[in-house]
Amino acid sequence: MEELVGLREGSSGDPVTLQELWGPCPRIRRGIRGGLEWLKQKLFRVGEDWYFLMTLGVLMALISYTMNFAIGRVVRAHKWLYREIGDSHLLRYLSWTVFPVALVSFSSGFSQSITPFSGGSGIPELKTILSGVVLDDYLDIKNFGAKVVGLSCTLASGSTIFLGKVGPFVHLSVMIAAYLGRVRTKTVGEPENKIKQNEMLVAAAAVGVATVFAAPFSGVLFSIEVMSSHFSVWDYWRGFFAATCGAFMFRLLAVFNSEQETITSLYKTSFRVDVPFDLPEIFFFVALGGICGIASCAYLFCQRTFLGFVKTNRFSSKLLATSKPLYSALAALVLASNTYPPGAGRFLASRLSMKEHLDTLFDNRSWALMTRNSSPPWPEEPDPQNLWLEWYHPRFTVFGTLAFFLVMKFWMLILATTIPIPAGYFMPIFIFGAAIGRLLGEALSVAFPEGIVAGGVVNPIMPGGYALAGAAAFSGAVTHTISTALLAFELTGQIVHALPVLMAVLAANAIAQNCQPSFYDGTIIVKKLPYLPRILGRNIGSHRVIVEHFMNGAVTTLAKDTPLEEVAEVVTSTDVAEYALVESTESQILVGIVRRAQLVQALQAGPPSWAPGQQRCLQDVLMGGCPTEPVTLQLSPETSLHQAHNLFELLNLQSLFVTSRGRAVGFVSWVEMKKAISNLANPPAPK
């Protein structure tokens, strides 16, 4: 029953409900409602995007800091248990391995039981979504809890599993942005805008990186390089504003909790500022970039091959399909056993956390020169003032431990990427690259113990600078990004190595981008996600490829004068989602698009005015109310592959019709585009 309405005595306004007339304090409630409406209009006049982005940044900073705080307590409890459990090797081994195995198996089981989309980093799927593909429920807010709990358990396992949080945090940030976007749409009362939603999702990706590293600049650039193929300069302010709010709040919380005296960088270094490197060292930095580029190609190839093997092998694929927690527990057991400190972990600096790994690798002192004439003992417990001793062994020296670390972590990182748990893979490869740079820096410090003479001035070599360049170069090569150079500067708060680090990153990318797809693109290939690859061959020959060479000429058209019997036969014999509507069978002039579902519905309904025996055609159905859509964009047979590819990427298209002088002659979809791009990279054998 509808509520009764009436007018206030002596008023001539809109009718109001009796509940409003007879409710308590009607004038006060009307005043409050009017004030809130006025405040809403004033706030959203400035632009609701500002409040949306600030809320997103602050929320993600709170989540990131709270997660770090809780994980730090759990990791310290694990170290305390390992330290206090006694001298029995069996008990110490069990305390070292059972803890991460239990956490990883719980992470896999809990997250996968709620939603299968919570595993991995999430960035490959986000790239697919931003390219125009709809992945159902991937950005649903119910995935948020599964991702947070699973990621917390993964990170709480410590350096035994050796995984990070960047990728999952990007996914979490995008989920929050999608949810806030729906709330904003309902609040403002505007229709859903797909373009605006994608802009906010790219900004959210920047927030995810910024609230992990407190690095807003590299967060924005990383999101642009990884998440989107085309980026509007107009959207720059959204990314920078949200990332700055998130990074500022993230570091401010550390000050409020008395962890820092003021807002500083995450990794403090003491590089020499006056002369950080000599000019001849530029050659070694470029060589380091080449080494990192070659190593990244080997890593990407092996990782993609092994991931494909795990998904196709009969035993592992069955295990992943039926019992993901069991597979996760077995993989975690292998990783934890190899990092057991009295065993192989002695040569892997396994007692250090991932943050302490970077802190020590960025040390500007030369460990090889410090231990040349002395053999310091290995401390029973890590010394906070001399954590670098975890990398030293009297028999194998610093070079042996660093080389062993690189060899072991190479396959251990590959194995860790196959575990179906929420985890990030950027931080491990960043540390791996730092170890490559540190090894080269230590070798140069031994080869030139007094430094390289340049202009009559001798400056000692700083291996920490090479570690910084190696971290940026290897991670940049694996992800096909340049922003890792800027990330290295924001992490350390120093920019003295700007030129050599950037040159190393460019050299590494020059090799990696010409040889292997990026880590995220490789995952897309293995998971067979619908994603349009970029054109690698930018030679002159690739510009000669035109649409006529690769279009699908078997286009199904429906003419307005087609008899309904033939229309019904076409609809029942094909399963395409839409048909090209042409003016007549003879002219084949493309005039619009008719969707199959709507056409089937119109054919089943049929107007009652049709007389028995009357010759009916498609035009009658269209005039009876079957909706059609105009063709706003179409390709010409002479359109180049590069132009078509740019259109598909820029407008997030799935398919386009090809017309010649208005006649429909074919169509191009992702299938044809992928085949044409593949033929460029691997030309078919001549017949």
Query: How confident is the model at residue 408, as a pLDDT?
Result: 94
686: confidence class by pLDDT, cuts 50, 70, 90:
low
Q: How far apart are CA 641 and CA 664, in angstroms?
A: 19
Query: How confident is the model at residue 612, as a pLDDT?
Result: 57
| Mean pLDDT score, 289-318 | 92
φ, ψ dihedrals at 280, nearest 5°? -60, -20
Of the candidates 137, 135, 36, the residue with the CA atom closest to the CA atom of residue 528: 135
Do 499 and 454 belong together in one domain? yes
Domain, as residue range, for 554: 542-608+615-681
Do 132 and 243 belong together in one domain? yes
Q: Which residue has the higher pLDDT, 42 or 494?
A: 494
Residue 71 in domain: yes
Query: How confident is the model at residue 452, as a pLDDT?
Result: 77
Residue 268 in domain: no
Of the candidates 76, 66, 151, 144, the residue with the CA atom closest to the CA atom of residue 108: 151
Sequence-ordered strand ranges (E) for 356-423? none
Residue pair 17/5 in contact by the 8 Å Cβ criterion: yes
Which residues have C-beta within 8 Å of that of residue 526, sequence separation ≥ 6?
304, 307, 308, 311
Query: How confident is the model at residue 17, as a pLDDT?
Result: 57
Do 523 and 546 belong together in one domain? no
Do 126 and 214 belong together in one domain? yes
Q: Which amino acid is at 493?
A: G
Do 247 and 299 belong together in one domain? no
Q: Which residue has the higher pLDDT, 233 or 520?
A: 520
Residue 26 in domain: no
Domain count of the fold of the chain:
3
Find where tokens 């401010």 sit. Answer: 252
Residue 28 in domain: no
Of the candidates 602, 605, 562, 603, the residue with the CA atom closest to the CA atom of residue 580: 562
Residue 7 has pLDDT above 50, yes or no: no
Residue 422 has pLDDT above 50, yes or no: yes
Q: Which residue has the higher pLDDT, 95 or 23?
A: 95
Secondary element (H or E) of residue 147: helix 142-156
Do 523 and 600 belong together in one domain? no
Residue 455 in domain: yes
Within 539-662, residue ranges assigned H as helices are: 547-550, 564-573, 596-605, 618-623, 641-651
Range with the lowest mean pLDDT among 8-17, 113-122, 346-355, 483-492? 8-17
**Dihedral angle over CA of 170, 171, 173, 179, nearest 10:** 160
Using DSSP's 3-state secondary structure scheme, residue 383 falls into coil
Residue 21 has pLDDT above 60, yes or no: no
Residue 27 CA: distances (Å) to CA of 8, 11, 31: 12, 14, 6
Query: How confident is the model at residue 2, as a pLDDT?
Result: 45
41: confidence class by pLDDT, cuts 50, 70, 90:
low
Residue 42 has pLDDT above 90, yes or no: no
Query: How confident is the model at residue 264, as a pLDDT?
Result: 72
Q: What is the pTM of this model?
A: 0.84
Query: How confident is the model at residue 454, as a pLDDT?
Result: 59
Do 448 and 551 belong together in one domain? no
Q: Are strands 557-559 and 578-582 parallel, antiparallel or unpaired?
A: parallel
Range with the lowest mean pLDDT among 49-53, 324-328, 359-363, 549-553? 49-53
Query: How confident is the model at residue 156, as a pLDDT?
Result: 92
Residue 77 has pLDDT above 60, yes or no: yes
Residue 336 has pLDDT above 90, yes or no: yes
Query: How confident is the model at residue 538, as a pLDDT?
Result: 56
β-bridge mates for residue 552, sequence order:
667
CATH number for the domain including 103? 1.10.3080.10
Residues of the chain with pLDDT > 90, as a percent, come to: 26
Q: How far apart are CA 438 and CA 452, in angstroms?
A: 17
Residue 304 has pLDDT above 50, yes or no: yes
pLDDT digits (tens, 9 = 90+) for 554-591: 888 888 888 888 888 888 888 888 888 888 888 888 88
pLDDT digits (tens, 9 = 90+) for 274-293: 777 778 889 999 999 999 99
Do 422 and 466 belong together in one domain? yes
Residue 12 in domain: no
Average per-residue pLDDT in the chain?
Answer: 84
Do 294 and 363 belong together in one domain? yes
Do 509 and 551 belong together in one domain? no
Query: How confident is the model at residue 539, as a pLDDT?
Result: 56
Find where tokens 């000019």 sit. Answer: 279
CA 563 to the chain's CA centroid = 51
405: confidence class by pLDDT, cuts 50, 70, 90:
very high
Query: How confident is the model at residue 143, as a pLDDT?
Result: 85
Range with the lowest mean pLDDT among 47-56, 91-100, 545-554? 47-56
Q: Which residue has the higher pLDDT, 340 or 118?
A: 340
Residue 10 CA: distances (Å) to CA of 6, 22, 358: 12, 16, 77
Query: How confident is the model at residue 609, as a pLDDT?
Result: 54
Do 406 and 506 belong together in one domain? yes
Residue 532 in domain: no
Query: How confident is the model at residue 16, as a pLDDT?
Result: 55
Q: How far apart are CA 269 and CA 259, in angstroms?
A: 18
Do 546 and 599 belong together in one domain? yes
Of the candidates 166, 269, 288, 181, the residue with the CA atom closest to the CA atom of residue 218: 166
Q: Which residue has the higher pLDDT, 620 or 96?
A: 96
pLDDT digits (tens, 9 = 90+) for 132-182: 777 767 888 778 888 899 999 999 998 889 998 998 999 999 999 888 888
CATH number for the domain including 595? 3.10.580.10
Residue pair 459/275 in contact by the 8 Å Cβ criterion: yes
Q: How far apart are CA 147 and CA 672, in angstroms?
A: 36
Domain boundary among 527, 550, 569: 527
Residue 13 in domain: no
Residues of the chain with pLDDT > 70, as a percent, come to: 89
- Retrieve residue 180's tokens: 């806030």
Output the CA angle 150-154-159, nearest 5 degrees: 170
What distance separates the 2 farthest-apart alpha carbons in the chain? Answer: 107
Domain boundary among 527, 552, 568: 527
Sign of CA dihedral 303, 306, 310, 312: positive
